[in-house]
Amino acid sequence: MAIRNIRVDDDPILRKTSRQVTEFNDRLFDLLDDMKETLYKSGGVGLAAPQVGVLRRVVVMDVSEDRSDYLELINPEITSVEGSQTGNEGCLSLPGLCGVVTRPMVVKVKAQNREGKWCLYKGEGLKARCFCHELDHLDGILYKDKLDEGECLYRTENE
């Protein structure tokens, strides 16, 4: 396993559409393992493959404080949404910045696991926000593109 470099805002790869994963092999498993290590090292809650320079439909995430809810999503698709929530959002690819974005409160996702089996996931609150945020990355969309009307990016307290 290895820590991968996280691509930042001006990197054109972040604006490209990722391709479906068709081969479940050691190359994919290495990517998943590296992304997990990179996610935990960075302190983030989600990471999409384009953020580490790979244009594949792969996401890893863990929104739990104790890091006990780790998920690997391959070829994920949102199947339903309900409600809404408005709140601050940040991104490892936009370090030190935040912005206000409205997302669904509940999101259901269909995705393959590392064995290629289709699984269903449901997220509420932060998990729903993370599903939407990371899946946007797979289509070249950054959260700053979805800022609520009248909102702008601002620096976080840590910067």
**Catalytic residue list:** 134
Length of the chain: 159
Pairing of strands 71-82, 85-90: unpaired
Q: In which element (H, E) is residue 31 found?
A: helix 26-42
Q: Say which residue the tokens 């994920």 belong to.
A: 76
Q: The tokens of 71 are what?
A: 């998920």
Instruction: Please state whether beta strands 58-61 and 71-82 pair in parallel, antiparallel, or not at all (unpaired).
Output: antiparallel
